[in-house]
Structure 1
């Protein structure tokens, strides 16, 4: 069984080793590197060997939001899980716009964190419940994804009706296997539709696609 390969950037001297111990002590997971700053991470992380990067926001030197953007540009398929104490809208949406694929709070239990990592690895977009509620509220206040303006924008991008359905499922936070079940298609077909969606919207990941398709006003 292959392991989910992770790396950590966290400056707390108690949390960092605890996370590394948790991950390395759990079957199916492996922590390759744990760094205390983005600058150290940029010099030490072998990005092509990592599946999931666990990234704090408040760090000495460069912060985690800036780092997410840099790491995504270097390796677009890298999965970034923000792990932070910040639950306010500014930090959440800045991180997602920068390319974060998930956003969980440090109050999460060890078991929850491992579940979040696994969910992210398998195509999900894990969020702590408090964060998910904020995102839903933001969508409600800015208009539903089915608004006329958004429909016109997606039509202009050349998305087919099926691709629109897949995109709507992504916006609901469903995993690839759940989308396949809901739409009665295979997982490989889901992945192919998502690849086409990203190409047509000129984005590289789920977060960028949703930000572009359903922008906040």
Structure 2
């Protein structure tokens, strides 16, 4: 049985390219692809996808607002943000809204499919450039007290290897842990940031640097 992936992307060429890429990958199906979020709640209720791939910057509203609508409606479908942005403000807002992952549009096709698989298996896909921003969020001078995030030493190790461009498999080999454990560490990193994003002080510090 194939995983259903719903796509939201306003660029027609990219939207169609993503649809071809995903449907061409074994075990995946795209029931629909949309140019905007105008009817996102109804769309998701109709198709009930296993995962939603969402462009973060689309008129008339951005993907973060679209994701908030889903969560407000009680829909817990997995969401991976697809974006050209890798700045810490957008990363933070996406995590705060409840995205499972955050990857760049320039991600190679094979890697993008791999990331979708990670998200579907309970992981939280993160490209190396996004990991750099997350590392800044948890260790930079503008993020507030250290106890706000409390990453474990192993979670910090995983994050730093992501920054260095290691794949999940190479991280597992390097740290002598399983691939599933790597996924779990990355997911916990996101969860810790999301939990603590409720602090207005931290959010303000990140946004205003």
With the length of structure 2 as denominator, give the TM-score of the two structures: 0.71
Alpha-carbon deviations, 1:51-74, whole Å to 9, x = none? 110001111112111111111233
Q: Which residue of 1 aligns with 2:173?
A: none
Deviations 1:164-193 (A, max 9, x none): 98xx869957998317999xxxxxxxxxxx
The equivalent residue for 1:86 is 85
Q: 1:92 to 1:210 in 2, by over 3 A?
A: closer
Equivalent residues of 1:124, 1:176 under 8 A apart:
no
Give the paired residue count. Answer: 179
Please give the alpha-carbon distance, in whole angstroms, between the structure 2 residues aligned to 1:65 and 1:18. 22
Aligned to 2:194: 211
Which residue of the partner structure matches residue 24 of structure 2? Answer: 25
Unpaired stretches in structure 2, ≥5 consecutive residues: 160-167, 169-177
What is the CA–CA distance in structure 2 between the aligned matches of 1:181 and 1:131, rounded to whole Å? 17
Cα deviation for residue 21 of structure 1 reads 1.0
What is the root-mean-square deviation in Å for CA atoms of aligned residues?
3.4
Q: Does 1:177 align with 2:177?
A: no
SS at match of 1:54: strand
Match of 2:11 in 1: 12
Distance 1:47 1:116 in 2: 25
Match in the other structure for 2:54? 55
Residue 143 of structure 1 deviates from its aligned partner by 6.8
2: CA distance, partners of 1:25 / 1:4:
12
Residue 23 (structure 1) shift: 0.9
Unaligned 5+ residue runs, structure 1? Answer: 152-163, 183-193, 195-204
List structure 1 segments (4+ residues) > 6 angstroms apart after TM superposition: 173-176, 179-182
Higher Rg of the two aligned structures: 1
Q: CA separation in 2, counterparts of 1:93 and 1:118?
A: 23
C-alpha spacing 1:176/1:129, structure 2 compared with 1 (3 Å): closer
Q: Which residue of 1 aligns with 2:135?
A: 136
Q: How does 1:141-160 map to 2 (within 5 A)?
A: 141=140, 142=143, 147=147
- For the residues of structure 1 that align with 2:184 and 2:63, how far apart are their CA atoms? 35
